[in-house]
Amino acid sequence: MDLKDIFFKIIIIIFAIFYFLYALVIAKQVKTMDKILQDKYNQLILLVTSMQVTVSLIILIMVLLSIIII
Amino acid sequence: MENNNKKNSVFYSYCLNPQVKFDTQEDSEKVYLLLRSHPFTQIGWILSSIFFFVLLFVLNLFLQSFLDSGQILIINLFFIVFILSYIWFNILSWYFNVGVITNKRVIDIDLHAVIYKEISDAQLGKIEDITVKSGGYLQSLFDYGSIFIQTAGAAVNIEFNNVPHPSDAVQVINNLLGKKHGS
CB B144 within 8 A of CB B134: yes
Q: What is the dihedral of CA A42, B17, B179, B177, to 10 degrees?
A: 50
CA terminus-to-terminus distance, chain A: 9
Helix intervals (H) in B29-68: 43-63
Whether A64 maps to a domain, the answer reads yes
B62 shares a domain with B110: no
Query: Where in the sequence is the domain holding B52, given as residue range(s)?
Result: 43-92
Chain A from 11 to 40: CB within 8 A of any B CB: 12, 15, 19, 22-23, 25-26, 29-30, 32-33, 35-40
Whether A53 maps to a domain, the answer reads yes
Cβ contacts (< 8 Å) between B117 and chain A: which residues?
A: 29, 32-33, 36
For B113-150, the pLDDT digits (tens) are 777 888 899 999 999 999 999 888 999 999 999 999 99
Whether A52 maps to a domain, the answer reads yes
Q: CA A27 to CA A20: how far, in whole Å? A: 11
> Which of B52, B76, B92 is at the close of a domain?
B92
B17 shares a domain with B50: no
Whether A31 maps to a domain, the answer reads no
Sheet with B98-102, side-by-side order of all strands: B8-9, B14-16, B31-35, B98-102, B105-112, B116-123
Cβ contacts (< 8 Å) between A52 and chain B: which residues?
A: 85, 88
pLDDT score of B2: 47
Query: What is the separation of C-alpha B172 from the centre of its chain, rounded to a whole number of angstroms?
Result: 18
B152 shares a domain with B110: yes
Nearest to B13 by CA among B37, B33, B32: B37
B81 shares a domain with B15: no
B173 shares a domain with B158: yes
pLDDT score of B10: 62
B154 shares a domain with B120: yes
Whether B1 maps to a domain, the answer reads no
Does the pLDDT at position B3 exceed 60?
A: no
> Which of B75, B92, B109 is at the close of a domain?
B92
B83 shares a domain with B50: yes
B138 shares a domain with B109: yes
Residues B3-25 have a mean pLDDT of 77
> Per this entry, what is the length of chain A?
70
A40: phi then psi, degrees, rounded to nearest 5? -75, -20
From the candidates B14, B23, B119, which should be mutated to test the interface with A, based on the most A CB atoms within 10 A? B23
pLDDT score of B6: 56
Sheet with B127-133, side-by-side order of all strands: B127-133, B144-151, B158-164
Query: Where in the sequence is the domain holding A49, given as residue range(s)?
Result: 37-70
Q: Structural domain tally of chain B?
A: 2
For B32-69, the pLDDT digits (tens) are 999 999 999 999 999 999 999 999 999 999 888 878 88
Q: Which helix (H) or strand (E) holds B161?
A: strand B158-164
B54 shares a domain with B139: no
Q: CA B70 to CA B93: how far, in whole Å? A: 35
Burial B123-145 (b: 16+ CB within 10 A, else e): ebebbeebeeebeeeebeebbbb
CB A16 within 8 A of CB A67: no
Whether A12 maps to a domain, the answer reads no
Residue type at position A17: I
Q: CA A26 to CA A21: how far, in whole Å? A: 9
Whether B79 maps to a domain, the answer reads yes
For B61-112, the pLDDT digits (tens) are 988 887 888 889 889 999 999 999 999 999 999 999 999 999 999 999 988 8
Q: Mark yes or no for CB contact A38/B20 under 8 Å.
A: yes
Whether A69 maps to a domain, the answer reads yes
For B15-34, the pLDDT digits (tens) are 999 989 998 899 999 999 99
Whether B123 maps to a domain, the answer reads yes
Q: Structural domain tally of chain A?
A: 1
B31 shares a domain with B13: yes
Report in angstroms the alpha-carbon separations of B102 from B1, B14, B54, B92.
12, 14, 44, 23
The pTM of the full predicted model, rounded to 2 decimals, is 0.89
B131 shares a domain with B105: yes
B111 shares a domain with B78: no
Cβ contacts (< 8 Å) between A29 and chain B: which residues?
A: 111, 114-115, 117
Where residue B134 sits, what CATH number does that domain have?
2.30.29
Query: CA nearest B18 in A: which residue?
Result: A39
Does the pLDDT at position B7 exceed 60?
A: no
This complex has an ipTM of 0.90
pLDDT in tens, chain A (70 residues): 688 888 888 999 999 999 999 999 999 999 999 999 999 899 999 999 999 999 999 999 998 988 777 6
Whether B3 maps to a domain, the answer reads no
